[in-house]
Structure 1
Amino acid sequence: MRGNVASHCCNMMNAKELFMNGEFITADKGMISVRTHAFAYGTGCFEGIRGYWNEEEQQVYLFRLREHYERLLRSCKILHIHLPYTVEQLIDISTELVRRNGQREDVYLRPVAYKGDQIIGVTLQGLHDEYILTSEPLGNYVEITGLRCGVSSWRRIDDNAMPARAKICGSYVNAAFAKSDALQNGFDEAIMLTHEGNVSEGSAENIFLYSDGEFITPSPTENILLGITRDTAMRLAEHELGIPTRERQVDRTELYLADEIFLCGTGAQIAPVIEIDHRPVGSGKVGPVVRKLQELYFDIVRGKHPEYSPQWCTPVYPK
């Protein structure tokens, strides 16, 4: 997959219904006006939530659903968006939507909270807040068998310009610049630096380096999104593999010297990196530590580790 992710992420949409502003409606009626404030100014926030099909159990498991909605509500707080739903209600709406669509496959849920007024003016206060949730099939967002990455000339936006802790719709133009340049330059993915020149994250993924028996990842002060998959990887590395993670500043050249590297996120999952700036990472192949972490992750998200399932995996269909 060099220069084109379409075959991996853009599966055929098959949803019959979506949830919009308090009710389930047919998918073809899920529309907003071209004059919508969020469409013009990017004044919305969203989440990406994966559901994984377990063939043996005939079950879809929505992974870390609670944590995603807790983060959505934190993003809403930053954007002065007030939703009339609790986390529990958002969880119930999500499982019901997948059931209504009859989806028995890997799915991707996208809740979006946004400013719905049809006005001209860049303000956040005093506007009407709206909410949409969709559920569609999704395969791999990026290649998971070995990415070739390039360090981007586009800097990661600063927290004082566009808060990285919130998944703000408009901020993803920053990621689009970096990702598009990477694809045009023959890479699979971009790695972004802060304005100080430290490693921040991928275009839409957190990054981990494995060196000298430990994982290293940029700290929250490096304008990163505090990823839920990032948190999952850190917990699994420590509790299942016995490998600690250090959060600190990471220099660009450390990328060239790491033994192994991976990107992670809800969309990316656990995606090994085998080359950066035309330099091989380690042996230039997927390393044993990242491979083991990846295999563990894919078992857990499909509900195959009972010790994690009650906390992290929400079943869609009644047993």
Structure 2
Amino acid sequence: MKYYDNDTLIYLNGSFEKASVTGIDFYGQALHYGYGAFEGLRAYNTHLGTRIFKAEEHFERLKLSCEAIDIPYRWDNNELIEQAYELLAVNNLRSAYIRPLVVSGANMHLTASKEASIMMAAWEWGPYLGQNLLRVCVSSIERPNPKSCRVDAKICGQYINSILASSDALNKGFDEALLLDQNGYVAQASSENLFIEKDGLIYTPPLANVFPGITRQTVAEICKSLHIELIERPLTIQDIYQADAAFLSGTAAEIIGIKEVDHIVYQEDWEHSLSATIQRKYKNLVLENENYEVII
């Protein structure tokens, strides 16, 4: 898809510039070593106007990601949120995906740069994995070991792992990949958190080896509000195969159901599952719909 044209503006270090003419520092560590951090936010066109869902949480996580790898973070998050709304306005966007990116300065040494720049772009983007139930596979590529890098931070270079797993799944005819952790438990998808449903309960892997997704936390809040028990525990491949239903969560993907894993098809009707109820509640939440029906 095309993310920008000659009129698209991006936010760069305090001003709005045309995306088509913005230069790149070819000596930057982000380009050579993946030494940068990013975020993904969604803006929704609600009945109250354009709203960025959980903007404060996302920019706080961007700050924490930079701090985790010693990238200087000198921006005020409240100001960045204001600029994110302005970015939507100058590009005439009401529903959009927003990508803040912090990149380190020029430095060919393997030491932390003392300079950093921030960019924000926005574009219209439907659910990342579409809206149909997914066909997924267990990947041979593992989730990074927490002792090797900060798996709780959204660091640019770590997503090479995700690209490899996702691309391999697509080449095999699947929609997405599930990655195991270093202990052989199912951790998450390439860039989404995983939940399974079994006998009226919802299960998800614990945070130790998975990314602490903001949408993941939102699912936990939804479960609490609907009195659905959510249990965090390590999940085996057999747990995934034998589930009644399953779904992925993430800002880009939102909440999307899984049809089958490694050609094993879930038998429960998705629309009547607890998982689908959570999906409907999430959609109403991000659209700020006050009057809605949730069927359990």
Instruction: Tell me which interval the TM-score lies in, with the shorter structure as reference length.
Output: over 0.9
CA distance change for structure 1 residues 111 and 244 in 2, over 3 Å: closer, same or farther?
Answer: same
User: Which residue pairs with 1:224 in the alignment?
Assistant: 210
Q: Answer yes or no: is the 8 Å Cα contact 2:41–2:98 preserved in 1.
A: yes
Report the RMSD for the aligned CA atoms in angstroms: 1.8
Say how many residue pairs are matched. Answer: 291
The answer to whether residue 119 in structure 2 is matched with residue 123 in structure 1 is no
* Structure number with higher relative contact order (C-alpha < 8 Å, ≥ 6 residues apart): 1
> Which whole-Å deviations, capped at 9, do the CAs of 1:254-286 have from their partners, x for residues lacking one?
001111100000011001001001101233755
TM-score, scaled to structure 2: 0.93
Task: Give the letter for the 2:284 counterpart.
Answer: D
Task: Give the letter for the 1:75 counterpart.
Answer: S
User: Which residue pairs with 1:4 in the alignment?
Assistant: none
Where does 1:1-319 land on structure 2 (aligned, <5 Å)? 10=1, 12-13=3-4, 16-54=8-46, 56-57=47-48, 59-104=49-94, 106-117=95-106, 119-124=107-112, 126-221=113-208, 223-239=209-225, 241-283=226-268, 285=270, 287-305=272-290
For residues 119 and 24 of structure 2, the distance between their equivalents in structure 1, rounded to whole angstroms, comes to: 10
Q: Aligned-pair distance for 1:121?
A: 2.2
For residues 286 and 154 of structure 1, the distance between their equivalents in structure 2, rounded to whole angstroms, comes to: 32
> Which whole-Å deviations, capped at 9, do the CAs of 1:182-218 have from their partners, x for residues lacking one?
0111111000000110010000000001112211100
For residues 273 and 202 of structure 2, the distance between their equivalents in structure 1, rounded to whole angstroms, comes to: 13
Structure 2: tracts of 5 or more residues without a match: none
* Percentage of matched positions with identical amino acids: 33
Q: Aligned-pair distance for 1:251?
A: 1.0
For residues 204 and 285 of structure 1, the distance between their equivalents in structure 2, rounded to whole angstroms, comes to: 22
Structure 1: tracts of 5 or more residues without a match: 1-9, 308-319
Helix, strand or coil at the partner of 2:20: helix
Q: Answer yes or no: is the 8 Å Cα contact 2:73–2:116 preserved in 1.
A: yes
> Which whole-Å deviations, capped at 9, do the CAs of 1:79-125 have from their partners, x for residues lacking one?
11122212211211111111121213x201100111121x322222x
Q: Answer yes or no: is the 8 Å Cα contact 1:228–1:266 preserved in 2.
A: yes
